[in-house]
A and B are shown apart, each in its own frame.
Chain A
Amino acid sequence: MKIEQVFAKYFGQIPKNKGRNSQVKKIEINPITRLEGHGKIAIFLDDNGNVDDAFFQVVEFRGYEKFLQGMPMEEVPRTVSTVCGVCRGVHFTASMKAMDQIFGVEPTPTARKLREIYFMSHYIEDHAAILYALGLPDFVVGPEADPAVRNVVGLIQTVGAETGKAVLNKRRLAVKIFELLGGKPNHPVAALPGGWSKTLSEEERKMVDGWADELIDLGKITLQIFEDIILKNEKYMALVTGDMYKVVVNYMGSVAEDGKIAYYDGLQKVIDLNGNEIGTFRGKEYLDFIAERVLPWSYMKFPYQKKLGDWQGIKEGEGTNLYAVGPLPRLNIVSGMDTPEAQKHFEKYHDTFGAKPVHFVLAYHWARAIEMLSAAERIKELINDPEITSKDNWNKPTQVVGEGVGIIEAPRGTLIHHYVTDDKGIVTNANLIVATTHNNGPINLAIKNAAKHFIKDGKVDEAVLNYVEMAFRPYDLCLACATHTVTGVMPLEMEIYDSEGKLQKKMRNF
């Protein structure tokens, strides 16, 4: 059913003056405000109590783009690291790359490698947090387990304290690398246009070299847990490869010159749902590929690939121009990993699923684990590079070019930071496109597909709520992370409406 028909059926005619904050109050019963900070899923049932449609709403915090205007570009990286308290390194890195271009400089080879070690350490801490707090508990503890134990605490109680400690102790080493190279505890400050302010002594290099071995071990442990708990469990593999968690869209990511995985630098590549290349782009050329659609009921825009035509709606399969980003899309796009152990797992991953691209959303978690290992191996390579302790860490800028686009593969997916400055390097315009925005369409599809499978005859319970949440958790939404009130930033409310549009049930997990 098309959205216009949904509105017409359940809420009557919608006003012609639709905007982002349309007065369609019934579909957003309680307006989503940052104060509550929760997302909302609205599920509409048909006359038989089966799912007719589902909509996902969250607030995307866009205030930074305005806030950055008038700011010296050199201040931007440390400022945008506050966009997200968890992924504090990704906005820092993307804006730093844009800053290089604003000042018309490239980092020295040593600075480039230090930046990449820093970024890879962030990959590991971030992916590990997602996997152990979010992805693995559903499987280790069980998707129908009591919410009281279906979390990282329950996971550790299941795998044992010694394994839990080993995981957290090793993960902590990634944080140590992040903070060592970032230049300040917790939050990075080491970005220079054309460089990186923190260099490594030989003593520090040896320390990080040892930590890299532990992090490779962490990657291997994680993949082994994945193998033992999920791959060898027929019931779980039925979920992983089932249609209920399948979303068929196009994919976007970054590749190196040889077509292999690229996180910090690369060529951006888009493939269609059959794996055929739609095109590649660098920098500002993203504007030739990505368009954004505003829908009246959604606070967040819906990006789509305009080389595949005009907006087609929230649909999957042939004809869609929606696309996804993140670990699963990356492993769909690349020809291989750039490190040996990760490459073995990449091959096993694709052998397991048979067809490429892989459209099974739960496979995001497996792809994430492979990237975690890949990042650790990359740190090991870089920390043993002969130039890594060089003090040649800065190409000092001598000009202001005035425009820069920094694109990286953040753990969650392609992140774009686009800045324009005046001739003094003061920001006049900023555009940030985050991974979760790219994934807005696929997330809606994932939720609808899961809801359609698990909600039958109007029966909705706690277990159903979790099965629907499992559909979008692999995307690991990063939206309202700028504010950090202790009550958390992404609790969820699910509302079930009957065929007459009447609210039948409301469920919360907060």
Chain B
Amino acid sequence: MKTIVIGIGNPFLADDRAGIVVVESLAQEKLKADFEILYTVGFELLDKILGYDQAIIVDACMLGGKLGEIFEVGLDDIFQTKSMLNSHAIHIGTSLRLGMDLYPELMPKQLKIFLIEVKNITEFSNQFTPQVKAAVEKVKTRIKKLL
């Protein structure tokens, strides 16, 4: 199964690095997947997943959950129809829904999104909040089981 694992975040901002660190770490283990880093969840996300059988996306979130909580979701869970869009916030669900509508034959048949509830996204730091650090390791383990 052709798989892509995409980490989304900002590489300089504390907990916002979560998705990126997961992917960069896994990329060094020579697993059977392609790995990409994105700084946004707009059309670029769609560009990257087309043509793969399986897509796994990892990002930080602030959904009001417990710090370090891991949400494992699919497309329908994340797509929200009511959102104000600007090009800087094309919702992840919108990008994926667009793919389903326009490129059904090219969209991955299996799509999983891992979201890590984070706290500190404004500090320039290469340190995670402890709970986020633990969650990063758990997500890595979960993804490896899918590959």
A residues engaging B (CB < 8 A)? Answer: 34-37, 61, 63, 66-67, 79, 81-82, 84-88, 125-126, 129-130, 133-134, 137, 147-149, 151-153, 156-157, 161, 164-165, 168, 171-172, 175, 185-187, 469, 473, 476-478, 481-492, 509-510
| Distance, CA A126 to CA B40, complexed state (A) | 13
Choose among B41, B62, B102, B124 the residue that contacts A63 (Cβ–Cβ < 8 A).
Answer: B124
Choose among A63, A137, A171, A489 the residue that contacts B88 (Cβ–Cβ < 8 A).
Answer: A489
Q: Using a Cβ–Cβ cut-off of 8 Å, how many residues does chain B contribute to the interface with A?
A: 51
Choose among A82, A130, A171, A488 the residue that contacts B39 (Cβ–Cβ < 8 A).
Answer: A82
A485 close to B59 (CB less than 8 A): yes
Choose among A129, A486, A510 the residue that contacts B8 (Cβ–Cβ < 8 A).
Answer: A486
* B contact residues around A492 at 8 Å (CB): 84
| Distance, CA A482 to CA B101, complexed state (A) | 29
A477-B88, A490-B89 as given contacts; A485 in contact with B60, CB under 8 Å = yes
A487 close to B61 (CB less than 8 A): yes
A483-B13, A483-B16, A485-B59 as given contacts; A478 in contact with B88, CB under 8 Å = yes
A185 close to B59 (CB less than 8 A): no
Chain B stretch 75-102: residues in CB contact (< 8 A) with chain A: 78, 80-92, 94, 97-98, 101-102
A67-B124, A484-B10 as given contacts; A36 in contact with B40, CB under 8 Å = no
A79 close to B12 (CB less than 8 A): yes
From residue A70, how far is it (CB to closest CB) to chain B in Å? 11
Interface flag for B47 (CB, 8 Å)? yes
Interface flag for B115 (CB, 8 Å)? yes
| Distance, CA A130 to CA B122, complexed state (A) | 26
Interface flag for B147 (CB, 8 Å)? no
* A contact residues around B98 at 8 Å (CB): 152-153, 156, 164, 168
B85 close to A485 (CB less than 8 A): no
Choose among A153, A482, A486, A490 the residue that contacts B84 (Cβ–Cβ < 8 A).
Answer: A490
Interface flag for B55 (CB, 8 Å)? no
A168 close to B43 (CB less than 8 A): yes
B85 close to A152 (CB less than 8 A): yes
* B contact residues around A186 at 8 Å (CB): 36-39, 44
Q: Could you pull out 21 A-B pairs where Cβ atoms are within 8 angstroms?
A: A86-B42, A87-B88, A133-B86, A134-B87, A147-B81, A147-B83, A152-B90, A164-B98, A164-B102, A172-B47, A483-B13, A484-B8, A485-B60, A485-B62, A486-B59, A486-B60, A486-B92, A486-B115, A487-B63, A489-B88, A490-B89
A491 close to B88 (CB less than 8 A): no
Interface flag for B118 (CB, 8 Å)? yes
Choose among B10, B88, B115 the residue that contacts A490 (Cβ–Cβ < 8 A).
Answer: B88
Instruction: Give the residue name and chain of the B residue nearest to A63 (CB).
Output: B124
From residue A411, how far is it (CB to closest CB) to chain B in Å? 9
A133 close to B97 (CB less than 8 A): no
| Distance, CA A486 to CA B60, complexed state (A) | 6
Tell me how many residue pairs across A and B have CB atoms closer than 8 Å.
Answer: 167
B86 close to A473 (CB less than 8 A): yes
From residue A271, how far is it (CB to closest CB) to chain B in Å? 27
| Distance, CA A84 to CA B13, complexed state (A) | 12
* A contact residues around B13 at 8 Å (CB): 482-483
- Using A148-B82, A165-B102 as known contacts, list a sample of 19 further A-B pairs with CB atoms less than 8 Å apart, ordered by residue number in A: A35-B119, A63-B123, A86-B42, A86-B88, A88-B39, A133-B42, A151-B94, A152-B90, A153-B101, A161-B101, A171-B43, A175-B44, A186-B37, A476-B86, A482-B13, A486-B78, A489-B88, A489-B89, A509-B82
A483-B121, A484-B16 as given contacts; A134 in contact with B43, CB under 8 Å = no
A129-B43, A477-B88, A484-B10 as given contacts; A147 in contact with B82, CB under 8 Å = yes
| Distance, CA A134 to CA B91, complexed state (A) | 12
Interface flag for B11 (CB, 8 Å)? yes
A510 close to B83 (CB less than 8 A): yes
* 0 or 1 for each of B107-119: is its CB under 8 Å from A? (1 = yes): 0000001010011
A482-B13, A491-B83, A491-B84 as given contacts; A129 in contact with B90, CB under 8 Å = yes
B residues engaging A (CB < 8 A)? Answer: 8-13, 16, 36-44, 46-47, 59-63, 78, 80-92, 94, 97-98, 101-103, 113, 115, 118-119, 121-124
B103 close to A165 (CB less than 8 A): yes
From residue B110, how far is it (CB to closest CB) to chain A in Å? 19
Choose among B10, B43, B81, B84 the residue that contacts A148 (Cβ–Cβ < 8 A).
Answer: B81
* B contact residues around A172 at 8 Å (CB): 43, 47
B59 close to A484 (CB less than 8 A): yes
B122 close to A34 (CB less than 8 A): yes
Instruction: Give the residue name and chain of the A residue nearest to B38 (CB).
Output: A186
A133 close to B85 (CB less than 8 A): yes
* A contact residues around B90 at 8 Å (CB): 129, 133, 152
| Distance, CA A482 to CA B122, complexed state (A) | 9
* A contact residues around B16 at 8 Å (CB): 483-485
| Distance, CA A168 to CA B8, complexed state (A) | 21
From residue A135, how far is it (CB to closest CB) to chain B in Å? 9
A482-B13, A486-B59 as given contacts; A84 in contact with B88, CB under 8 Å = yes
- Which 3 pairs between the two chains have the least Cβ-Cβ distance? A85-B40, A85-B39, A148-B81
Choose among A149, A156, A491 the residue that contacts B102 (Cβ–Cβ < 8 A).
Answer: A156
| Distance, CA A88 to CA B124, complexed state (A) | 18
From residue B63, how far is it (CB to closest CB) to chain A in Å? 7
A509 close to B83 (CB less than 8 A): yes
| Distance, CA A486 to CA B78, complexed state (A) | 9
| Distance, CA A79 to CA B42, complexed state (A) | 20
| Distance, CA A175 to CA B63, complexed state (A) | 31
* A contact residues around B46 at 8 Å (CB): 168
| Distance, CA A213 to CA B84, complexed state (A) | 33
| Distance, CA A186 to CA B38, complexed state (A) | 7
A82-B10, A165-B103, A484-B40 as given contacts; A476 in contact with B87, CB under 8 Å = yes
